[in-house]
Amino acid sequence: MIYPGLKGIACTETRISDIDGEKGTLIYRGYDIEYLTENYTFEEVAYLLWFGDFPNEAELTWLKEELKTKRVLPDHIKQLIKLLPADMEMMSVMRTAVSALGTPEFGWKPTVDQAILLTAIVPSIIGYRLQQTKGILFNEEIAQSMDYMNYYLYALSGNVPSATHVKALETYMILTLEHGLNASTFSGRVTLSTESDMVSAITSAIGTMKGPLHGGAPSGVIDLLEEVVASGHAEEVIRAKVENGEKIMGFGHRVYKTMDPRAVALKKKLMHMAGKDEWLDLAMDVEKAGIKVLQELKPGRSLYTNVEFYAAAIMKAVNMDPSLFTPTFTASRVVGWTAHLLEQCENNVIYRPSAVYIK
């Protein structure tokens, strides 16, 4: 029997995460995603994915310092970024710059130190590229003391971010750190299974994430929110789209048959920030209108908001250019990728599926 795209085929065991699309649950290392976003920081959840447990105070301090130290771009990466064509999109810049990190110390087997370096350096690659192409001003002294999330937002704009925006983006990035054996994670594990190095595997994963069928940006949700702002009537806009047979961006998910647990967790966090950002408030109003209209016009369909719906509101709130949506998704997913690569090398078997020859 042939299974196109290997859909539904289990090819490995993992302790990293579990997805139940029917129940609408997502678990990292035994912990529900909503519990994690309510109680832990980006660094603490990254540590959990890499090591299997939460850090104590000393371990958390160590990780934060490692992320700061390892985010410094080597000179050859800076020179490479400068030489890349000005119109090269950010995902291609990231793929190329990450591949150039493949120095001899990145060999088999991969290490946690390598995972931390790759996680730390991706925001620096994005930020340095923006400095070169967009003229973003970047003060090293200001950035030096910043933790991962503040540093990332600062690198994107050259402005010290507000606490509201930092917390909103941190919640989104925790929710997108890991999501099972998706296309990019599988790509990375396949590459590493040949006993290649972690840099090569992450380069493969970035190349896979770049495809619009996988890492597509929530720009369609942005368009919906802006259309609602222009009209002033969320329910009328959504009703017209449904009646015209248009897809309502940000609603529904191919895996989750009920509410996307990441959207639930993100919404819960954003509700604590009500009144602090107009785009976040708007998203909650549009969600209510959307679910009301969809339940009325498409009864029996489980069409709830997915994580990209609120992600779009966050991206809009922090004034992030749409070209940076997928790179931001990638910056968080590096943690999940590297966790899988570390797991892969524990009991490595090369991936070698077969194909049916057709005359």
- How far apart CA 54 and CA 312 sit, in angstroms, is 29
Percentage of residues in the chain having pLDDT higher than 90: 51
Q: What angle do CA 215, 217, 222 make, to 5 degrees?
A: 160
Q: How many domains does the chain have?
A: 2
Nearest to 331 by CA among 129, 162, 36: 129
The values of phi and psi at residue 218, to 5°, are -80, 40
> 181 with 266, same domain?
no
In a domain, 358, yes or no: no
**Count of residues for the chain?**
359
The token pair at 108 is 């088999």
CATH of residue 87's domain is: 1.10.580.10
Q: What is the DSSP letter of 16?
A: S
Query: Residue 66's domain spans which residues?
Result: 17-213+324-347
In a domain, 1, yes or no: no
In a domain, 263, yes or no: yes
Nearest to 269 by CA among 231, 240, 300, 311: 311
Q: Are 346 and 192 in contact (CB under 8 A)?
A: no
> 148 with 163, same domain?
yes
**CB-facing half-sphere around the CA of 354: CA atoms within 13 A:** 5
Q: Are 124 and 140 in contact (CB under 8 A)?
A: no
The token pair at 36 is 């994690």
> 336 with 302, same domain?
no
Q: Which of 118-127, 210-219, 271-280, 345-354 has the highest mean pLDDT?
A: 118-127
Percentage of residues in the chain having pLDDT higher than 70: 95
Instruction: Please determine, for residue 275, whether its predicted confidence score (pLDDT) is greater than 70.
Output: yes
> 112 with 127, same domain?
yes
Q: What pLDDT was estimated at residue 253?
A: 59
In one letter, which amino acid is 184?
Answer: S
- Per-residue pLDDT of 169-181, as tens digits, reads 999 999 999 998 8
Q: Is 54 exposed, middle or buried (0-12, 13-18, 19+ CB in 10 A)?
A: middle
178 Cβ contact list (under 8 Å, min separation 6): 16, 17, 28, 49, 333, 335, 336, 339
- Per-residue pLDDT of 296-332, as tens digits, reads 887 767 677 777 788 888 888 888 888 898 999 999 9
Nearest to 333 by CA among 187, 226, 190, 223: 187
- How far apart CA 332 and CA 172 sit, in angstroms, is 9
Q: What is the pTM of this model?
A: 0.88
Q: Are 70 and 116 in contact (CB under 8 A)?
A: yes
In a domain, 356, yes or no: no
Number of Cβ within 10 Å of residue 56's Cβ equals 10
- How far apart CA 188 and CA 341 sit, in angstroms, is 7
> 176 with 58, same domain?
yes
> 109 with 242, same domain?
no
As a whole number, mean pLDDT of residues 222-244 equals 86
> 308 with 191, same domain?
no
> 208 with 230, same domain?
no
190 Cβ contact list (under 8 Å, min separation 6): 204, 351
Q: Give the residue numbers marked as catalytic.
A: 253, 308
Alpha-carbon torsion, ordered 97, 99, 102, 108, to 10 deg:
140
As a whole number, mean pLDDT of residues 335-343 equals 97
- How far apart CA 38 and CA 27 sit, in angstroms, is 14
> 92 with 186, same domain?
yes
- Per-residue pLDDT of 75-92, as tens digits, reads 999 999 999 999 999 999
Instruction: Please determine, for residue 252, whether its predicted confidence score (pLDDT) is greater than 70.
Output: no
> 110 with 169, same domain?
yes
Q: Are 318 and 159 in contact (CB under 8 A)?
A: no
Question: What would you measure as the largest C-alpha separation in the chain, in angstroms?
Answer: 65
- Considering only 134-148, 230-244, 290-304, 333-347, which range has the smallest mean pLDDT? 290-304
Q: What pLDDT was estimated at residue 254?
A: 59
> 205 with 332, same domain?
yes
